[in-house]
Amino acid sequence: MSVKVYEGEDLNALIERAKEELGEIEILYYEVEKVPGRIPFFRKKKYRLFVTEKEEEKGEREVEKLEEELRELKELLLTLKENVTKLPPQHSVPSVPEHLEDKLPCQIPHLEEFTGDAAELVSLLVKKGVEPDVATELVKVSCGLDIETEKLDLSTNTFKEALINAFQEKLSFTGEIKVEKGKQRVLAFIGPTGVGKTTNLFKLASKFVIEQELRVGVISTDTFKVGGTQQARIYASILNVPFYVATDQRKLKEIVDNLADLDVILIDTVGRSHYDYFRIGEIKATLSILGTSIEYVLLVSCNYDTKEAMEIVNRYRSFFPVDFLLFTKIDESSRPGVMVNVGVKSGLPLSYVSTGQRVPEDIKLLTPAVISDFILGG
Ligand SMILES: Nc1nc2c(ncn2[C@@H]2O[C@H](COP(=O)(O)OP(=O)(O)O)[C@@H](O)[C@H]2O)c(=O)[nH]1
Ligand SMILES: [Mg+2]
C-alpha cells in the first residue's frame, strides 16, 4: 500500500489538496496536534492526514504536468524571441522563472580545457547542479587528449558510460544494505527536521521485511518528549513492524537488549523545530549508550544547495561517526548534482535516494548508473 501524508491547519483544505493532487483518495487516518501560536496561550491546531492514492490517476497527472511545463517553455521562448529581435540591445529581457532556469542553455566557466562531447558533458553536469570544479574532475576520468585541438575529449562512446566511469572512481556506494542472519545491525536515522527520516526509515524497514525476509524492529527516540512519534506509530501499524518509544538512554538500552533476536533495529530520532539543530547533542547523548554497535545514516535533502548540504554533513559529523548518506526529495529538485557534490566532497558512501512521498515504494538504491540517469534524464 502507498501512503502519503499532508500537514496543515485546515483538515478540509488538506483533503481537497490530496484530491487535487491524487484524484480519488482513501483516507486512512488523521491526527490533530496543538502547537503554540504567536499569541501567548493560544494554541493552533495542526492536522496530519494519511491517505492512499489510486495508481491509475498517477500516469495522467504526470502527463498533465509535463504538458503544462512544455506550454510554459513555449511561451517563454516566444517572449524571449520577441524581446531579443524587436527591442534595442540595451533593453532588458524578461527574467526566467526559477523552475525553468535549468531548462535553458547556461554559461559555464572553465571550459577551455575541454572540447567536443567532453565540453558538452561538463556543461550538462553544471546545469544539473554539479559544481564546476567537481564536473571537470569527473569528466577528466573518461577523457583523452584530442590531437588536433590539443584539448580533452571523451574517450567513451556515450555520456552515460563516461559518467558511470567517473562515479565509480570518484564516489563510494554502500550497495543494497544486507543483513546476515544472526548478525544484528542497528541503524540510527539522523538529520534535520522534515528531511524525511521517519518516512524513509519505514521504506527501508519494508524492504528488509519483503526482500530479505528479516525480522525488523523500529525504535523512536523521542528525547524531547514532544509526542512526535505518532506518525511513526501509524506507519509501523500499517506495515506491521514492531514499534517502541525510548524517552531516555536507559530505556533505549533496555529495549535494544530485549530485541537481541531481531535481525535489524532501525532507530528514528525525533525533533520538532529548526532549533533542534542546536540540540543534536541530546540525541548523541541518548544514542551513545549503544556504543559502537550502532551505524549512523545521515539524511540529506536534494532541495538543499551544496553549501547548505555540506554544512549539515559537517555539523552532524562533528557529533556522530556518520557511516553513510541517504538522499531525499530528488523528485522536488531539478539539480541532482547536489548528491554528486556531497558524495565527492564528504567522501561518505551513498546508499539510497528517496524519490517521493509514497511509503514504501518511493526509494531507489544509488549506483553509478542510477546517478547517471538522474543527471542525464529529464
Ligand atoms: N516529495 C517528497 N517528499 C518527501 C520525501 N521524503 C519524505 N518526504 C515528505 O517530507 C515530509 C517530512 O518527512 P518525515 O519523514 O516526517 O521527516 P522527518 O522529520 O525527518 O522524520 C513528509 O511529508 C514526507 O512525506 C521525498 O523523497 N519526496
Ligand atoms: Mg520524523
Measured by CA distance, the residue closest to atom 3 of ligand 1 is: 357
Atom of ligand 1 nearest to the CA of 195: 20
Q: Which residue has the cell 544472526?
A: 182
Higher pLDDT: 264 or 60? It is: 264
What was the pLDDT predicted at 203?
Answer: 96
Atom of ligand 1 nearest to the CA of 354: 27
pTM: 0.78
Q: What does the pLDDT average to over 199-226?
A: 89
226 Cβ below 6 A of ligand 1: no
The SS3 call for residue 55 is helix
Measured by CA distance, the residue closest to atom 6 of ligand 1 is: 196
Q: 199 CA to middle of ligand 2, Å?
A: 7
Instruction: State what percent of residues in the chain have pLDDT above 70.
Output: 85
193 Cβ below 6 A of ligand 1: yes
328 Cβ below 6 A of ligand 1: yes
Higher pLDDT: 174 or 70? It is: 174
194 Cβ below 6 A of ligand 1: yes
Judged by its nearest atom, the ligand closest to the C-alpha of residue 21 is 1
Atom of ligand 1 nearest to the CA of 268: 21
Q: Are strands 322-328 and 350-354 parallel, antiparallel or unpaired?
A: parallel
Degrees to nearest 5, angle at CA 52 with 49 and 56: 145
What was the pLDDT predicted at 228?
Answer: 67
Q: Which of 128, 105, 109, 125 is nearest to 117 (CA)?
A: 125
331 Cβ below 6 A of ligand 1: yes
What was the pLDDT predicted at 225?
Answer: 55
5 Cβ below 6 A of ligand 1: yes
What was the pLDDT predicted at 108?
Answer: 67
* Least trusted range by pLDDT, from 11-25, 79-93, 146-160, 175-189: 79-93
What was the pLDDT predicted at 191?
Answer: 93
Mutation to probe ligand 1, out of 357, 359, 364 (largest number of atoms < 8 A from CB): 357
Does the pLDDT at position 305 exceed 70? yes
Helix/strand/coil (H/E/C) assignment for every residue in 196-212: CHHHHHHHHHHHHHHHH
356 Cβ below 6 A of ligand 1: yes
What was the pLDDT predicted at 32?
Answer: 81
Tell me the C-alpha distance between 201 and 360, whole Å: 9
Q: Express each pLDDT in 43-55 by its tens digit.
A: 778 888 888 876 6
Q: CB of 19 within 8 A of CB of 8?
A: no
Q: What does the pLDDT average to over 87-106?
A: 57
Does the pLDDT at position 274 exceed 60? no
What was the pLDDT predicted at 41?
Answer: 67
User: Where does the pLDDT of residue 3 fall: very low under 50, low under 70, confident under 90, or very high at 90 and above?
Assistant: confident
Mutation to probe ligand 1, out of 17, 51, 62, 199 (largest number of atoms < 8 A from CB): 199
Q: Which residue has the cell 523500529?
A: 218
CATH of the domain spanning 185-367, picked from 2.40.50.100, 3.40.630.30, 2.60.40.290, 3.40.50.300: 3.40.50.300
Higher pLDDT: 81 or 316? It is: 316
Atom of ligand 1 nearest to the CA of 362: 27
Q: CB of 350 within 8 A of CB of 339?
A: yes
Instruction: State what percent of residues in the chain have pLDDT above 90.
Output: 58
Tell me the C-alpha distance between 69 and 80, whole Å: 16
361 Cβ below 6 A of ligand 1: no
